[in-house]
Chain A
């Protein structure tokens, strides 16, 4: 069962629809007990970093996610759900993230292009990774104004370019997957990436 972390924000319907389309059952996890039942987790997200973290803590979901990750449950963070996996964010106020990936989230600055970065961009692979299996020069859909910096290069899977900016677009560190773009809104290419995540070996053990 795929657990979608529900902290009261964003369009979860699209993600559920995409999973259904790929013949996978999913459930919304508003409570730590729900998280504990899932053998794979997706942390979606739209909104602001501090609000998301506050809500994850208020619902005791932050610890539940940490616990699941410790038990090797595969986790996929999408957009803001990717950003909060890092150590800290600076959206509005400085705020600690879940700290599952090394790096911080900062505002994108480039006078030559519009911020937010809204629309389709192509992925440039920085290393061969199961995340991008079956994908050949994919285009994916982005909506964001902040991006990851000071990350561990070893975790990086793909980037996109926007103006003078190099946007870290996809990360994988073991069973932690993360993408800045929205795979559930990126057509066939996005569905394929989701499918790759769904087919990755789950070594998750619940004690």
Chain B
């Protein structure tokens, strides 16, 4: 089933992530690559990077950022902000971005949309439309430059025009709702989505789980974008998806969520004759406690009981840690590595991990002689 997309947006200034409230009062919230990887892990369907400084000198910085993102993240991403020419578009796409978002340049030169769609394909041309309700409250006008300039263009007219010119998607930001966290501008999104032949991404105002439900349930958009909500960790992408899923909105869910069979299927248990090394860390401190092995049964027990269960190679039997000593390990988190053949367990260790009574099995140290002594 086709799914609704959740898209975190990263506003970039000088290579760092920022997010303003109504575009005023910027605050640094982090490293874009790290944040992007976090979002991808949390189940983001796509990412949008907006260069808010958008000066010509920054074109190279944002292209370099795109290249770094493309090397580490295997979901689609869009780069926007200050893209003015076919050369700009080419540079960004060549760096590894999947799509570019055109905003004020498209207003100034609508033919840029057409030329870009012909040269690179509609699928990679997103037209960003910033909309503001007219004073007469009879519709919305397209605004540019962070809402400071009213172009006098009607949003619906412009949406029709950009589709005709070859836009592959419309990123629709409500300047009235942006930064308010009071919910997406549903009347606006609904009006545009009704006439749209291409996907509409709703942006501006998302501040609570219910807002995402509202915009999708009312069929006002195909995707929803938010920034600060996710940056400050108020809501996780995965939470939004679970919320939507439980209310009947189709979303992409990571298949192993609570699904033991799916999780086990993902692992490469065959590689080491059915045994998988498990690195165990204390969840609170990240101290490495021990290394042990699990077979499939041990893993099933662990996933079911949320208590670490291993396979003892010396005794050749299952070993529910703590069963005799009381030193159980309460499992907080399980991760698998890139090759899917090693597990990392984060646990809350009751008592000691080591049979010797030490908290960690790695209590014996070798002194390293420094070179040149």
Residues of A participating in the B interface, judged by any CB pair closer than 8 Å: 11, 13-14, 17-18, 20-21, 46-47, 113-122, 134-139, 141, 143, 160-163, 182, 184-192
User: In the complex, which residues of chain A have a beta carbon less than 8 angstroms from the beta carbon of B222?
Assistant: 114, 118-119
Residue of A nearest to B169 (CB): A118
| Contacts A114-B197, A187-B75; A136 near B266 (Cβ below 8 A) | yes
Please indicate the chain A residues that have their CB under 8 angstroms from the CB of B366 in the complex.
Answer: none
- Asked if B255 contacts A143 (CB within 8 A), the reply is no
Given contacts A13-B96, A20-B71, A113 and B2 within 8 Å (CB-CB): yes
Q: How far is the CA of A143 from the CA of B122 in the complex (A)?
A: 10
Which residues of B lie under 8 Å from residue A188 when comparing CB positions?
74, 254
User: Which residues from chain B contact A17 at a C-beta distance below 8 Å?
Assistant: 70-71, 74, 96
Does chain A have a CB within 8 A of B16?
no
Given contacts A114-B222, A136-B266, contact A185 B74 (CB under 8 A): yes
Contact with B265, one of A13, A21, A136, A187 (Cβ below 8 angstroms): A136
User: Is the beta-carbon distance between A11 and B223 smaller than 8 angstroms?
Assistant: no
- Name B263's closest neighbour in chain A (CB-CB): A136
Residue B95 contacts which of A13, A18, A113, A137 (CB distance < 8 angstroms)?
A: A13
* The residue from B1, B96, B265 contacting A121, defined by CB atoms under 8 A apart: B1
Q: Is the CB of A136 within 8 A of B70?
A: no
Cα–Cα distance between A189 and B255 once the two chains are bound (Å):
9
**Quick one: which of B94, B199, B255 contacts A119, CB cutoff 8 A?**
B199
Q: Which of B96, B198, B255 contacts A14 (CB under 8 A)?
A: B96
- 3 cross-chain pairs, A with B, having the tightest CB-CB distances, nearest first: A136-B262, A139-B252, A13-B96
Flag if A14 contacts B70 (CB, 8 Å): yes
Q: Is B296 an interface residue (CB 8 A)?
A: no
**Which residues 227-277 in B have Cβ within 8 Å of A in the complex?**
252-256, 259, 261-262, 265-266, 268
* Chain A nearest Cβ from B93, distance in angstroms: 6
Say yes or no: B198 contacts A119, CB within 8 Å.
Answer: no
Q: Which residues of B contact A192 (CB under 8 A)?
A: 266
Contact at B262–A137, with CB atoms within 8 Å? yes
Taken together as a complex, chains A and B put the C-alpha atoms of A46 and B124 apart, in Å, by: 10
Choose from B45, B74, B76, B121 the contact partner of A191 (Cβ within 8 Å): B74
Q: Taking each of B2, B97, B122, B124, which has the highest tally of chain A beta carbons within 10 Å of its own beta carbon?
A: B2
Across-interface contacts of B268 in A (CB, < 8 A): 134
B356 CB to nearest chain A CB (Å): 38
> What is the bound-complex CA distance between A189 and B198, given in angstroms?
26
Which of B94, B123, B259 lies in contact with A116, CB distance below 8 A? B123
Taking a contact as CB atoms under 8 Å apart, the answer to whether B70 and A119 are in contact is: no
Residue ID in chain A nearest B197 by CB atoms = A114
Q: Contact check: which of B72, B75, B223, B261 meets A141 at CB < 8 Å?
A: B75
Instruction: Answer whether residue B154 sits at the interface, using C-beta atoms and an 8 A cutoff.
Output: no
Number of residues of chain B lying within 8 A (CB) of chain A = 44
Of A20, A120, A122, the residue contacting B45 (CB under 8 A) is: A120
Given A13-B96, A136-B261: A118 and B252 interface contact (C-beta under 8 Å):
no
- Enumerate 6 A-B pairs (CB-CB under 8 Å) in ascending A order: A18-B74, A46-B123, A116-B122, A120-B45, A163-B2, A182-B76
Q: How far is the CB of B207 from chain A (nearest CB, A)?
A: 24
Which chain A residues border B223 with CB–CB below 8 Å?
119
Query: CA A188 – CA B262 in complex, angstroms?
Result: 13
B98 contacts across to A, CB distance below 8 A: 11, 14, 185
Which residues of chain B have C-beta atoms less than 8 A from A185's C-beta?
74-76, 98
Cβ of B189 within 8 Å of any chain A Cβ, yes or no, is no
Is B142 close to A, CB under 8 A?
no
Asked whether B123 lies within 8 Å of A187 as measured between CB atoms, the reply is no
- A113 to B228 alpha-carbon distance, docked (Å): 31
| CB of A136 to closest CB in B, whole Å | 4
B12 lies within 8 A of chain A by Cβ = no
Chain A residues closer than 8 Å to B96, beta-carbon distance: 11, 13-14, 17
Q: Who on chain A is nearest to B96 by CB?
A: A13
Q: Mark B117-150, 1 if CB is under 8 A from A, else 0.
A: 0000111100000000000000000000000000
- The verdict on A46 contacting B121 (CB below 8 Å), with A117-B2, A136-B255 known, is yes
Measured between beta carbons, the chain A residues less than 8 angstroms from B199 are: 114, 118-119
Contact B70 A116 (CB under 8 A): no
Query: Is B168 at the interface (CB under 8 A from chain A)?
Result: yes
Q: Distance in Å from the Cβ of B94 to the closest Cβ of chain A? A: 7
- 1/0 contact trace for B49-76 toward A, CB 8 Å? 0000000000000000001001110111
A14-B70, A113-B2 known; A119+B45 contact, CB < 8 A? yes
Q: A114-B196, A114-B199, A121-B3 are in contact. Are A136 and B259 (CB under 8 A)?
A: yes
Q: Which of B40, B121, B253 has the most CB of A within 10 A?
A: B121
Asked if residues B45 and A13 are in contact (CB atoms below 8 Å), the reply is no
The residue on B at minimum CB distance from A191 is B74
- A13 near B94 (CB under 8 angstroms)? yes
